[in-house]
Amino acid sequence: MTFFSKIATNLGSSFGAPTINDHLDKILADTEVNLALDIGCGITSHLTRFRPRIKTVGLDVFTIKQATESLAHDHYISADIINDPVEKLQEELVRLTGSSKANLVTLFGVIEHLPKKAGLEMLEKIELLSDRYLLIDTPNGFVPQGPEYGNPYQRHLSGWFPNEFEGYGYSVHGSLGTRYLRGYMGEPRIKIPGLRLFDNVVMARLLMTQRFPHHAFNICAIKNLHGVPARYKSYDDPRRL
């Protein structure tokens, strides 16, 4: 990373819209969270920096050998989240950690690589693997991406919008700038030096992507399984306006 790239990264972190790491910090401030399951973990993980305070488990099937060698997690499970029964995954968790459920289940850049039907089925399955939090990080809408680096699994097969996750009881937040200046693989549509930083710091602030995620390039969907606050007051509630 060049000197100017480091400056841009620091400025983006300090003044830009909240990132996935900012949301993780808030969740993991909950002292009851001590076990996390990273589905589709790949070789690196946003969860690594929280070790050893929390125990982390990576689950993957396509890159499990490389993932295991990276030591980004305490334990690894070689399994297919789509096709393997949830009972098998729970048995593996018990074998490795003594618990059939994690306090936090994460999917960083995973669900967009699945067809829509398979993604919806996965949303139901991951609720059976967590006893508290779910966190999904994915582009806002469909972002074209092919089989990069010779890996056919890098192709994007679906797009997901904030209202879809909200319908499943998630709270949704925007991150990584706006959707209006990004194109293939999330790269800037116009090759202008500093455009990415301008998008993340200026445009994201102006459009308030944190509060209005439909403007954001990326969305972070979080669900607390201990209960989702009601959006509307009851019709029987005398305080209802």
Predicted TM-score of the model (pTM) = 0.84
Examine the pLDDT at 120 and tell me if it is beyond 50.
Answer: yes
pLDDT of residue 228: 55
The tens digit of pLDDT for each residue in 177-219 reads 899 988 888 888 888 888 888 888 888 888 989 889 999 999 9
For residue 40, what is the DSSP state? T
pLDDT score of 154: 82
The average confidence (pLDDT) of the chain is 86
Closest residue by Cα to residue 134 from 20, 13, 10, 36: 36
62-116 pLDDT, tens digit per residue, is 878 888 888 999 999 999 999 999 999 999 999 999 999 999 999 999 999 999 9
Tell me which residue of 27, 45, 84 sits closest to 61, measured CA to CA: 84
